[in-house]
Amino acid sequence: MTTATHAHADHEHHGPPSGLKRWLFSTNHKDIGTMYLVFALIMLFLGGASAMVIRAELFMPGLQLVQPDLYNNLVTNHALIMIFGAVMPAAAGLANWMIPLMIGAPDMALPRMNNLSFWILPAAALMLILSFVVPFFPGGGTQINTGWTLYPPLSLQVGMSMDFLIFAIHLLGVSSVLASINIIVTIFNMRAPGLRMMQLPIFVWAWLVTAFLLILVVPVLAAGVTMLLFDRHFGTSFFIAAGGGDPVLFQHLFWFFGHPEVYILILPSLGVLASILPTFSRKPLFGHHSLVGAMIAIAALGMIVWAHHQYTVGMSLAAVKYFMIMTILISIPVGLIIFNYMMTMWRGAMTFETPMLFTVAIILMFSFGGLTGVMLAVVPADMQYHDSMFVVAHFHYVLLPGAVWGLFAGVFYWLPKWTGHMYDEKLAKTFFWLHVVSFNITFFPQHFIGLAGMPRRIVDYNVMFTEFNMISSVGAFFFGISHLLFLYIIIKTVRGGEKAKARAWESAQGLEWEVESPPPHHTWTTPPTIKTA
């Protein structure tokens, strides 16, 4: 455990510049963190809107609201906006805000590059949105009907909107890579004197591992979509069988990125939980080094299991066996983290403020999603489950609890630090229950309709699936509405409320609680003194 003695910064009177300039030219990690979080929230609502249309269409069999191509365009856009627009930027927002505070650094290592990483995002989002709307204009070509996986040959046949999308992915990739470089350099070079790597909070470690994953896999996605672009416009045949290429090659490239990507989405959130659990269990983390080891193991294994998404393309028996065994092995380090967190709560003096409520729900429901993951990892079983609504249920159970709720938990946990105000606990708990219950109503039935044979990414379905789809859609509408409450709570907290102390939660540990709430514009200009107790 590390403790700090107060070393007050002497430059605190330097406030932020005022007006638009403060944000446009910001090199301040707190302001950039805020912009990332606000951007992510806007994208959450955009992505959510497309999900509402999808569930409205699936409320009944037959075509009611949207045509098949538009339906698939919505599915594609929903996934890409949620992954690249909402979850990743929100996690980057937490990283920007918290890593310098947690390691006693005055700012990120490369503050101007930090500004660039963020401001690429709105441009990328614009391209992403254009890829959705361009087909509605005369001469705009066909809609993107591939899903977020962009498999050829379909993605070679889509009109110009695919080019907008490829450009959007390039921009998003540049933004992530620059942000990751910044995070890696900050963690290695900017720690307060005496703060050793193994003393870093798990959240910082989780982001370090995530940043390395991003560095290793985002360039491969970039290469894949670049080859797609070349096949589309410059006469190459990387993925065209008639020219000697192979569409399955794209699947390997995509999933070499795609599977590590799911760990990129969950690791920062799992890191957040390691901050929350000790605070509300009033006990130190059960194991610190073992968590670091488990995260590194997850990242390493996560990079060599990608083809479990392609069991049905006809790989050799040796290959599918390899991918099956490695995939199932990942449940060992994942399980280790879950048990570590349960042991942290064990016999603790627990209280259940909203961040802790989310944490407990995550441990229960993320584990459930992990279990369906192990089912999918088994080759003969996946031959049946593949491309069914069961897969949709699986990844929503891992992604919402694993990634999104961890981010919500982190936002509630650190909101008093950021704003200087306590949020309204009663409203937040209402949000928690509404959100979590309606989430389960939405996605639990999808396991059964999937097992019964309803395919994913299809606009219409057999009448025998009607009832469960109706339940799912009704759940989804409540789920959607719950986010308005979230927005209200955030706005209310920013505007006022009970004043938060520097240490907003009585037993919270870590350097971030040594500075005032809200922190001055510049913190740790004089680094804290680290004492090892």
Token pair for 67:
């045509």
Instruction: Report in angstroms how near the CB of residue 400 gets to ligand HEM at its nearest.
Output: 9
Q: Report the C-alpha gap between 432 and 426 in whole angstroms.
A: 10
Q: Work out how close the CB of 459 gets to another protein at its nearest, in angstroms, rounded to a whole number.
A: 32
Q: Give yes or no for a contact between 84 and 148, defined as CB atoms under 8 angstroms apart.
A: no
**503 touches ligand HEM (CB under 6 A):** no
Count CB atoms within 10 A of the CB of residue 452: 14
Say how far apart CA 486 and CA 291 lie, in whole Å: 31
Give which of 376, 506, 515, 512 is closest to 450, Cα–Cα: 376
252, 396, 456, 492: which one binds another protein (CB under 8 A): 252
- Among residue numbers 252 through 271, which ones bind ligand HEM (CB under 6 A)? 262, 265-266
Q: Is 191 in the site for Cu ion (CB under 5 A)?
A: no
Pairing mode, strands 529-532 and 2-5: antiparallel
Q: Which of ligand HEM, Cu ion, another protein, none does residue 381 bind (CB under 5 to 8 Å by kind)?
A: none
Tell me the residue type at 120.
Answer: I
Query: Does residue number 259 form part of the binding site for Cu ion (CB under 5 A)?
Result: yes
Interface size with ligand HEM, residues (CB under 6 A): 25
For residue 11, state whether it binds another protein (rule: CB under 8 A): yes
- Exactly one of 184, 378, 381, 452 binds another protein (CB under 8 A); which one? 184
Tell me which residues in 289-318 interact with another protein (CB under 8 A): 307, 315-316, 318
Spatial CA neighbour of 57 closest among 432, 458, 433: 458
Separation CA 533–CA 108 (nearest Å):
27
Based on the shown chain and the rule CB under 6 A, indicate whether residue 391 belongs to the binding site for ligand HEM. Answer: yes
β-strand partners of 531: 3
User: Do residues 358 and 412 lie in contact, with contact meaning Cβ atoms separated by under 8 Å?
Assistant: yes
**Binding of another protein by 216 (CB under 8 A):** yes
Give Cα 104 distance to the centre of its chain: 25
- Would you list the DSSP string of 300-356? HHHTT-GGGG-GGG---HHHHHHHHHHHHHTHHHHHHHHHHHHHHHTT------HHH
Chain residue whose CB lies nearest ligand HEM: 373
The residues facing 388 across adjacent strands are 455
Nearer Cβ to another protein (220/391): 220
At residue 133, the 3 state secondary structure works out as: helix
Q: Decide: is 54 part of the binding site for ligand HEM (CB under 6 A).
A: no
Asked if 328 touches another protein (CB under 8 A), the answer is no
Q: Quick one: what does residue 75 bind among another protein, Cu ion, ligand HEM, none, with the CB cut-off 5 to 8 Å set by partner type?
A: none
Please report whether residue 394 would count as binding Cu ion according to CB under 5 A: no
Partner in contact with 25, chosen from another protein, ligand HEM, Cu ion, none, beta carbon below 5 to 8 Å by kind: another protein
Contacted entry of another protein, ligand HEM, Cu ion, none for residue 318, CB cut-off 5 to 8 Å set by kind: another protein
Return the HEC string of 150-164. Answer: CCCCHHHHCCCHHHH
Longest dimension (CA), the chain: 70
Q: Which 3 state secondary structure label does DSSP give 531?
A: strand
The answer to whether the CB of 151 falls within 8 A of the CB of 254 is yes
Binds 395, which of Cu ion, another protein, ligand HEM, none (CB < 5 to 8 A, cut-off by type)? ligand HEM
Q: Is 180 in the site for another protein (CB under 8 A)?
A: yes
* Alpha-carbon span 509 to 499, nearest angstrom: 19
- Using DSSP's 3-state secondary structure scheme, residue 77 falls into helix
Provide, rounded to whole angstroms, the least separation between the CB of residue 238 and another protein: 8
Candidates 188, 346, 352, 488; binder of another protein (CB under 8 A) is 188
For ligand HEM, the binding residue among 3, 27, 142, 149 (CB under 6 A) is 149
Report the C-alpha gap between 293 and 299 in whole angstroms: 10
Q: How far apart are CA 284 and CA 295, in angstroms?
A: 19
| Piece of 26-34, 157-165, 330-338, 499-507 that binds another protein (CB under 8 A) | 26-34
Dist CA 518 CA 417 (whole Å): 5
Residue type present at position 148: W
Peptide bond into 518 cis (omega under 30): yes
Q: Which of 205, 250, 385, 408 binds ligand HEM (CB under 6 A)?
A: 385
- 399 contacts ligand HEM (rule: CB under 6 A): yes
Site for ligand HEM contains 278 (CB under 6 A): no
Tell me the closest approach of the beta carbon of residue 469 to ligand HEM, in angstroms: 20
Select from 33, 47, 333, 370 the one that contacts ligand HEM (CB under 6 A): 370
Which span (81-89, 244-252, 363-371, 395-403) binds another protein, by CB under 8 A?
244-252
> Per rule CB under 8 A, is residue 525 in the interface with another protein?
yes
Instruction: Return d(Cα 159, Cα 72) in angstroms, integer.
Output: 14
Q: Strand, helix or coil at 392?
A: helix
Contacting residues toward Cu ion, per CB under 5 A:
259
Contacting residues toward ligand HEM, per CB under 6 A:
149, 262, 265-266, 308-309, 327, 330-331, 334, 370, 373-374, 376-377, 382, 385-386, 391, 394-395, 398-399, 402-403
Contacting residues toward another protein, per CB under 8 A:
11, 14-17, 25-28, 106-107, 109-113, 177, 180-182, 184-185, 188-190, 215-220, 222-224, 227, 238, 246, 248-249, 252-253, 256, 307, 315-316, 318-319, 322, 521-522, 525
